[in-house]
Structure 1
Amino acid sequence: MSADTLRRVVILRHAKSDWPQVDDHERPLAKRGRKDAPVAGRWLAGSGITLDLALCSTAARCRETWELAAPELSERPRTSYEERLYEASPGELIAVLNEVSDEVHDLLLIGHNPGAQGLVDILASEAEDDALARFHRGFPTSAIAVLTLNGSWQGVEPGVGRLVAFWAPHA
């Protein structure tokens, strides 16, 4: 794979979750989350990005976010539910990215904070327009960050990305 192959990683923070008396991993979406997740899906559909693969945390709130967002896309990508995304640190998320096949050009990662926000912070060495300034104001639930990377997934490391878009439902 050529070193100048452009790839995109789209990071979607799960939608707003509820806080019932259940194990954290099993927390469902709140009413607002069930409303915002399809809106995030519509933003993705309008972005022009054709996703090759979605990696989704196994947590109920991430699975439910993806179940509500995916129908908004014109074509649903292959989806893999990945236990390692739950409560993952930015370094652990990079390790997951390093395992992605180079056949994948555009990847969606559906995960949690603080890992998702930390991953964007660590990867983005530069940004377009005011995307980084808006991102630094916070990475709320249902927010989406789009980064471009050059080279293979195995070469993903801190500072290799460019934040090209940032969207949040209530911004």
Structure 2
Amino acid sequence: MSVAEPRRIVLFRHAKADWPQVNDHERPLAERGRQDAALAGRKLADTGIPFDLTLCSTATRTRETWKHAVQEFPRRPKTVYEERIYEASPGELIAVLNETPDDVRNLILVGHNPGVQGLTEVLAGSADGDARERMSRRGFPTAAFAVLSYDGPWKGLEPGTARLTDYWAPPRETLT
């Protein structure tokens, strides 16, 4: 793989969930979450990145987020539902990413906070433009995503080895 063609990693936090009387893993999306997931899907499609793989937590809210987001894509990437993403720390998420086959160039990880935000902060040794400042100012609200660029094999992904190239969060006055 040449330096001119880096891998891209999108770290995507699930959209706004509802709080019905179910266990945390089974919480569905709220109506706002369904809308934000579709909007995030359009923004991801607009990046023009040809995604090869999506690693998605098995939680209901992450699966529903992905279902609404991917409908906006011109081509659906292969999706793997990975239970280790649920409640994972940044280190545990890196271990999952390290197992990615090297023929995968661009992937999306749909997960939860604080792991997704923590992983973004840990991986991003550098940043383009004001991406880090925007993320710092907005935090990592539901349906937000970060795009990172990485120039090595998946087994070599570790803290500080990626570059934060973009960050997006749904527009909103009050973020939760």
- For the aligned pair, the TM-score class normalised by the smaller chain equals over 0.9
The amino acid that maps onto 2:168 is W
In the aligned structure 2, how far is the partner of 1:15 from the partner of 1:26? 14
Partner of 2:26: 26
Indicate conservation of the 8 Å contact 1:56/1:63, yes or no.
yes
Provide the TM-score with structure 2 as the length reference.
0.94
Residues 90-131 of structure 1: CA deviation (Å, up to 9, x unaligned): 000000000000100000000000000000000001101100
Provide the TM-score with structure 1 as the length reference.
0.97
Classify the secondary structure of the residue corresponding to 2:71: helix
Alignment identity in percent? 61
Q: Which runs of 5+ in 1 are unaligned?
A: none
TM-fit CA distance, 1:170: 1.5
The amino acid that maps onto 2:152 is G
The amino acid that maps onto 2:102 is D
Indicate conservation of the 8 Å contact 1:3/1:151, yes or no.
no
In the aligned structure 1, how far is the partner of 2:2 from the partner of 2:130? 27
Partner of 2:9: 9
The amino acid that maps onto 2:143 is S
In the aligned structure 1, how far is the partner of 2:6 from the partner of 2:152? 7
**Is it true that 1:142 corresponds to 2:143 in the alignment?**
yes
Partner of 1:168: 169
Residues 40-96 of structure 1: CA deviation (Å, up to 9, x unaligned): 000011111110000000000000000001010000000000000000000000000
Partner of 2:58: 58
Classify the secondary structure of the residue corresponding to 1:9: strand
Indicate conservation of the 8 Å contact 1:56/1:109, yes or no.
yes
